[in-house]
Amino acid sequence: MVRTDRVTIQDVAVLSGLSICTVSRALRKLPNVSEKAQVRVAEAASKLGYKASAAASRLAGGVTGSVAIVAPTATSWFFAQAVEAAEEVLGDSGYDTVLISLRNKASVRRQFFENLENFAQRVDGLLLLNIDVDPDEMEALKACGLAIASVGMRHVPWDNVGIDDEHAAWQATQHLLGLGHWDLAVLSSNEHSVVTETPRFRGFKRALDEHHLTVHPDLVVAAGPSIDDGRRAMAELITRGARPTAVFAHCDEAAFGALTALREYGLSVPKNVSVIGLDDHPMSGFLGLSTVAQPVADQGAFAANLLCERLLNNESPHQPSNHLLDTKLIERKTTRHKR
Amino acid sequence: MVRTDRVTIQDVAVLSGLSICTVSRALRKLPNVSEKAQVRVAEAASKLGYKASAAASRLAGGVTGSVAIVAPTATSWFFAQAVEAAEEVLGDSGYDTVLISLRNKASVRRQFFENLENFAQRVDGLLLLNIDVDPDEMEALKACGLAIASVGMRHVPWDNVGIDDEHAAWQATQHLLGLGHWDLAVLSSNEHSVVTETPRFRGFKRALDEHHLTVHPDLVVAAGPSIDDGRRAMAELITRGARPTAVFAHCDEAAFGALTALREYGLSVPKNVSVIGLDDHPMSGFLGLSTVAQPVADQGAFAANLLCERLLNNESPHQPSNHLLDTKLIERKTTRHKR
DNA sequence: GCCAAAAGTGTAAGCGCTTACAATTTTGTC
DNA sequence: GACAAAATTGTAAGCGCTTACACTTTTGGC
């Protein structure tokens, strides 16, 4: 590295004619700095393009000026969008964004948490995206002493932003019911071993309940969040002999797969079967998939904002808040009245 | 931040009965440390659970231990995949990955380059993804003194990894020609004002040349890299009265749009028209789009590796290298023989 | 105007590590 | 063995910042 001579606090001190100490305080907007000094320092700093060294600040007991975004994977559209939105907010607040992808791998994940205490020295805060932590991991997170905010997590002792999954699933199901369908199949997430315990499944069930309908076990099938999984699940449903007139898939990708399987089995959508997803994947508009949209970028941005606030006044130990953003039914071409 | 009394290198030195300096060297496996010392230090360190302070190492060593990945946007599948692959490589080499998205906005981009000299103090290297820099920006990049590597850039004075766009386009076109099509339309990228100057267009043209065919201007249309743009472009082609038997779209997303437009105009694919894209978008398999695949993750990983090498032996001023990775024709359901 | 209190500023001691360079020990040769 | 060269180890000076604490200036009440 050709180390171009770094602009240090010393340079700012000299240019502003004040001591290093005063500059340091002025820069961090600490009390006991006169108006004049503030201005002089600000001018000098901006003229020199000065930015504190993260390593030095950190070592001396201060802050690093960067926060990490931790995602289970960085390749899915959901995370990519949330990350970009968060990065924008963080950048505007002067933080660098360090990206950590757990790559959907247990080993990577384990290593991250084992190394967390050490990693914590390199950032001021953590923005967790849909990481469902086990007790040990929760312990590590609490112990690392970082400010934390999250997207899509439940019952966590820090600020969280998400959607009401149960309600969103209810909206989707309600739409199907409103179209006169009552033989409803559901492709439910298998991320937890018990498929029927997920919020989205509960929303599905609640809608049925309200119409005095019951969930038929033969019409419930597990599906991961991928096209292939959705395809397999739908195929299983069909070969099982199930003949629903409408299908609710827990996410759009699974719905895409369902669409494929349906086509392969000669069933026409929406003529024979209606299909609705949940998420509003970027391709859903193109494919005409009816769905319930969730504001992905907004969630990332909102959570980033909460984290920044927390970072600024870290003193005030306020209650962790949980914000649920609105979801919206988007009717396209894969759902229609039962005839 | 609760500062738990940290185990420092001093503690290890005392326990192992050696000097701090020797411990430091032993820990980093530098030469000139005796076998004995190595072992003693290793034992002491593990007994104490010692982990070096990142901040201190960095401050003293003059490196930041992080590199920035700069992408025009972080939301497209291409960048998401390249970023994740690069992040993995960088992480394995001990670097944190700072994400910078230019958000496809001129203002963000300008700010980044104006601020580059300053930003350069916070990272050791830059990984640029498909940023086509103007002369001023190039100047800034050279001046910032950082190690640089890139993906998908041309004629740059640093290591680059990409694909042979011209060849890839040639492969796609050649496939169409091999199927007996000779009325070929092309949806060409409009990122540069002159559509016919892009490498992908040149590849298209070369394939035609080889078959002694000429490019008919009426069958050339500009299209951005989005479904909508592709749709618009294809629609324009059709309303123009053009009746190609096959279409080459410069990227899969444009091809998706072409598919839509074709369907809207009652043209059946591949019965009436064959369509081929380029990239192998994650949805292409699902949609059955024939295409030429480029290894996205590999490009990101490769470039990251080059950057890491450069970062390690920064002394050796070696020639910038340019690596072209292989692309591969993937025949699916949108192309067939002309009949 | 005087003086104590308040406000602003500076001095200097680290934070935990790396690294010239100096000091010491080991090795190898005659 | 003696001695130079090579290998190993230690000393000490920072890296750029924060922060007690000491010091200087301003403020305001009488």
Nearest to A55 among B55, B83, B314 (CB): B55
What is the pTM (predicted TM-score) of this model? Answer: 0.90
pLDDT at B182: 93
B23: nearest nucleotide, CA–C1' criterion: D9
Alpha carbon A277 to chain centroid, angstroms: 18
Question: Which residues, 6+ apart, have CB-to-CB distance to B253 below 8 Å?
Answer: B225, B226, B227, B229, B230, B277, B279, B281
pLDDT at B316: 57
Q: pLDDT tens digit string along A121-172?
A: 889 999 999 998 999 999 999 988 899 999 999 999 999 999 999 999 999 9
A11: nearest nucleotide, CA–C1' criterion: D16
Query: Rounded to a whole number, what is the largest CA-CA distance in chain B?
Result: 87
Could you say which residues from 71 to 110 on chain A have a Cβ atom under 8 Å away from some Cβ of chain B?
73-77, 79-81, 83-84, 87-88, 91, 96-101, 103
For residue B179, give how far its alpha carbon lies from the nearest alpha carbon of chain A (Å). Answer: 26
- pLDDT of A318 > 80? The answer is no
Residues 51-110 of B with CB under 7 A from strand D: 56, 59-60, 62
The counts of H helices and E strands in chain A are 14, 12
* Number of neighbours of residue B330 by Cβ within 10 angstroms: 17
pLDDT at B245: 96
SS (H, E, C) chain B: CCCCCCCCHHHHHHHHCCCHHHHHHHHCCCCCCCHHHHHHHHHHHHHHCCCCCHHHHHHHHCCCCEEEEEECCCCCHHHHHHHHHHHHHHHHCCCEEEEEECCCCHHHHHHHHHCHHHHHHHCCEEEEECCCCCHHHHHHHHHCCCEEEEECCCCCCCEEEEECHHHHHHHHHHHHHHCCCCCEEEEEECCCCCHHHCHHHHHHHHHHHHCCCCCCHHHEEEECCCHHHHHHHHHHHHHCCCCCCEEEECCHHHHHHHHHHHHHCCCCCCCCCEEECCECCCCHHHHCCEEEECCHHHHHHHHHHHHHHHHHCCCCCCCCCEEEECCEEECCCCCCCCC
Pick from A120, A69, A81: nearest CA to A279 = A81
For residue B209, give how far its alpha carbon lies from the nearest alpha carbon of chain A (Å). Answer: 35
Nearest chain A Cα to B98, which residue? A98
Nucleotide D15: closest residue by CA–C1': B60
* Number of neighbours of residue A9 by Cβ within 10 angstroms: 19
- Hey, are the CB atoms on B55 and A51 less than 8 Å from each other? no
Q: Residues A273, A334: contact at Cβ < 8 Å? A: no
Question: CA A190 to CA A187: how far, in whole Å?
Answer: 9
pLDDT at B133: 94
For residue A209, give how far its alpha carbon lies from the nearest alpha carbon of chain B (Å). Answer: 35
Alpha carbon A189 to chain centroid, angstroms: 17
For residue B187, give how far its alpha carbon lies from the nearest alpha carbon of chain A (Å). Answer: 19
A243 CB contact with strand D at below 7 Å: no
B312 CB contact with strand C at below 7 Å: no
- Hey, are the CB atoms on B54 and A122 less than 8 Å from each other? yes
> Average pLDDT of chain A?
92
Pair type for strands B147-151 and B291-293: unpaired
A322 CB contact with strand D at below 7 Å: no
Protein-contacted positions of strand D (CB under 7 Å): 7-12, 14-20
Class of domain B66-163+297-325: alpha beta
Class of domain A9-52: mainly alpha
| Token representation of residue B122 | 């916070």
Nearest to B98 among A2, A84, A98 (CB): A98
pLDDT at A325: 98
- CA B67 → C1' D9, Å? 34
- Tell me the three state secondary structure of residue A5: coil
pLDDT at A3: 44
Q: Give the residue ranges of chain B where pLDDT is below 70.
A: 1-5, 192-196, 314-317
A60 CB contact with strand C at below 7 Å: yes
Question: CA A33 to CA A94: how far, in whole Å?
Answer: 22
Q: Residues B96, B65: contact at Cβ < 8 Å? A: yes
Task: Tell me the H-state helices in A180-241.
Answer: 199-210, 227-239
What is the CATH code for A66-163+296-325? Answer: 3.40.50.2300
- CA A21 → C1' D27, Å? 23
- Hey, are the CB atoms on A97 and B96 less than 8 Å from each other? no
Q: Which residues of A touch B74 (CB under 8 A)?
A: 80, 83-84, 87
- Hey, are the CB atoms on B65 and A1 less than 8 Å from each other? no
Per-residue pLDDT, averaged over A105-118, amounts to 93
Q: Residues B177, B153: contact at Cβ < 8 Å? A: no
Give which of A101, A117, A129, A253 to mutate to test B binding, by max B Cβ within 10 Å: A101
A196 touches chain B (CB under 8 A): no
CATH architecture for segment(s) B165-294: 3-Layer(aba) Sandwich (3.40)
Give which of A64, A67, A75, A126 to mutate to test B binding, by max B Cβ within 10 Å: A75
Tell the burial category of B285 from Cβ atoms under 10 Å away from its Cβ (0-12, 13-18, 19+). Answer: middle
Domains A66-163+296-325 and A165-294 share a fold: yes
Per-residue pLDDT, averaged over A247-259, amounts to 97
* CATH fold for domain B9-61: 434 Repressor (Amino-terminal Domain) (1.10.260)
Question: Which residues, 6+ apart, have CB-to-CB distance to A259 below 8 Å?
Answer: A269, A275, A287, A289, A334
Q: Residues A338, A177: contact at Cβ < 8 Å? A: no
pLDDT > 90: percent of chain A: 81
Give which of A73, A121, A126 to mutate to test B binding, by max B Cβ within 10 Å: A121
Nearest to B74 among A54, A83, A122 (CB): A83
- CA B150 → C1' C8, Å? 50
Q: Which residues of A touch B120 (CB under 8 A)?
A: 4
Domain limits of chain B? 9-61, 66-163+297-325, 165-294
Buried b (16+ CB within 10 A) or exposed e, B194-203: ebeebbbbbb
A339 CB contact with strand C at below 7 Å: no
Could you say which residues from 120 to 159 on chain B have a Cβ atom under 8 Å away from some Cβ of chain A?
120-122, 124, 144-147
Question: Count of CB contacts below 8 A, A vs B?
Answer: 132
Protein-contacted positions of strand C (CB under 7 Å): 7-12, 14-20
Nearest chain A Cα to B80, which residue? A75
Q: Residues B200, B189: contact at Cβ < 8 Å? A: yes
pLDDT at B3: 40
pLDDT at A192: 65
Q: Residues A162, A306: contact at Cβ < 8 Å? A: no
